[in-house]
Structure 1
Amino acid sequence: MTSRVILISPAISAALREARFDDGCPLDAAGLRGAEAAAGTLPTAHRLCCSPTVRCRETAGALGLDALDAPELAALDTGRWRGSTLAEVGAAEPEALTRWLSDPEVAPHGGESVAALCERVGAWLDRLAEPASETARTIAVAEPEVVRAALVHALGTPLPSFWRTDVPPLTAVELSGRAGRWNVRMGRPL
């Protein structure tokens, strides 16, 4: 059986607009309107899940999806940088930020490394592609970094490619796979 996974990035929020490490802020009015406008455009799925963040839950709800939180799809834990903008971190800890952006194995913020995120998300995808998997299609509303990690795993690219992938708000990345091999269809706007 072929497993199909549609990863949907959340609608826009103040944190996304400000290039701020997520701090639990909700969708802004434009983001909510965009997600509501896209409701009804997705195919049916056997499993609906989302990153356990406010903006992913709100996006799923606005899309009309009764999605369950999936801990495996949690956002990257950015430790003490949570709530700060990239510019603020760059001004306060330029060497730490440079290390973080160049070495996926490090976590100078005290949270989770990019490598650990990619491993966690990759394990989730592998479970979905197992022959005994009961679900043919999964729709997941997931933070942009979770979508990036899924792409790194699905394409088998080196970890530094994580930083080379942009995931715009309210777009879908579709994965289809079986026997440990994934195909990718990227960037469909909702």
Structure 2
Amino acid sequence: MNGLRLIASGHTPALRATVLGGDHDLDEGGHRAALALRTAPQLLTRLFPDSPWLVAPSRAAHHTAATLTDTSLTEEPALADPDYGTWTGHPLDRINPADLQSWLTDPTAAPHGGESLTDITARAGAWLDTHTAGKFTVVAHPIIIRTLIAAALELPATGSRRLAVAPLSVTRLTHHGHWSVHFPTP
């Protein structure tokens, strides 16, 4: 069976404070939660136990993956957090509401000078298209995991906003001519 095991990276101080972008390590709670997931081996080993681990180029993704496995990690630039442009490092409540609304509802808008939802979806979808064969474990920011799931389901660029992906959640995608989404039980 071909597929991807998608793991959302753990909590960081920025994620808890809804700060956009930046590159942060897991906070203490995120690290403890990742350790707890590692000690639930029935979940991790049941889903592609010996698969290569692919990680986003972020400290949180690397820290999460290194906590979960002793396997070597391969960094995947296409799994990078979105480019938030001038919004990087700012909490949501400091973003101009009209600009934020535009970015969230118009998939081509990029009022921050970074990536639009269309750009993020195209990047994630192109990466997904190159991983239809084999088994891989992927660790990336929850927004990238959401975008990968939305791309697998062929949702429009704004479709990822309708999905909720919690830190350290595990989702499995399998490919049999098309992608199927599985939500494993712990």
Give deviations 1:126-157, integer Å, cap 9, x for gaps. 1111xxx4xx2100101111111111111112
- Indicate conservation of the 8 Å contact 1:52/1:71, yes or no: yes
Unaligned runs of 5+ residues in structure 1 are none
Q: Provide the residue aligned with 2:102 in structure 1.
A: 99
Match of 2:83 among 77, 80, 83: 77
Once residues 184 and 159 of structure 2 are traced to their aligned partners in structure 1, the CA distance between those partners, rounded to angstroms, is: 17
Q: Provide the residue aligned with 1:108 in structure 2.
A: 111
The change in CA–CA distance for 1:187 and 1:28 in structure 2 (over 3 A counts) is farther
Q: Say what the alpha-carbon RMSD is for the aligned residues.
A: 1.5
Report the alpha carbon displacement of residue 174 of structure 1 after superposing the two structures with TM: 0.5
**Runs of 4+ in structure 1 over 6 Å off:** none
- Indicate conservation of the 8 Å contact 2:21/2:82, yes or no: no
Match of 2:176 among 169, 175, 178: 178
The change in CA–CA distance for 1:137 and 1:45 in structure 2 (over 3 A counts) is farther
Once residues 108 and 188 of structure 1 are traced to their aligned partners in structure 2, the CA distance between those partners, rounded to angstroms, is: 39
Q: Provide the residue aligned with 2:131 in structure 1.
A: 128
The change in CA–CA distance for 1:164 and 1:106 in structure 2 (over 3 A counts) is same
Once residues 50 and 21 of structure 2 are traced to their aligned partners in structure 1, the CA distance between those partners, rounded to angstroms, is: 28
Once residues 185 and 145 of structure 2 are traced to their aligned partners in structure 1, the CA distance between those partners, rounded to angstroms, is: 13
Report the alpha carbon displacement of residue 18 of structure 1 after superposing the two structures with TM: 0.6
- Are 2:67 and 1:62 equivalent residues in the alignment? yes
Once residues 45 and 149 of structure 1 are traced to their aligned partners in structure 2, the CA distance between those partners, rounded to angstroms, is: 25
Report the alpha carbon displacement of residue 98 of structure 1 after superposing the two structures with TM: 1.2
Partner-residue secondary structure (3-state), 1:36: helix
Once residues 173 and 63 of structure 2 are traced to their aligned partners in structure 1, the CA distance between those partners, rounded to angstroms, is: 23
Q: Provide the residue aligned with 1:28 in structure 2.
A: 27
Match of 1:53 among 52, 58, 64: 58
* TM-score calculated relative to the size of structure 1: 0.88
Q: Provide the residue aligned with 1:153 in structure 2.
A: 151
Unaligned runs of 5+ residues in structure 2 are none
1:38-49 paired onto structure 2 within 5 Å: 38-39=37-38, 41=41, 42-43=44-45, 44-49=49-54
- Indicate conservation of the 8 Å contact 1:173/1:185, yes or no: yes
Give deviations 1:68-117, integer Å, cap 9, x for gaps. 1101101111011111111111xxx2221110011111111111111111
- Are 2:163 and 1:165 equivalent residues in the alignment? yes
* TM-score calculated relative to the size of structure 2: 0.90
Q: Aligned partner of 1:153: which letter?
A: A
Partner-residue secondary structure (3-state), 1:68: strand
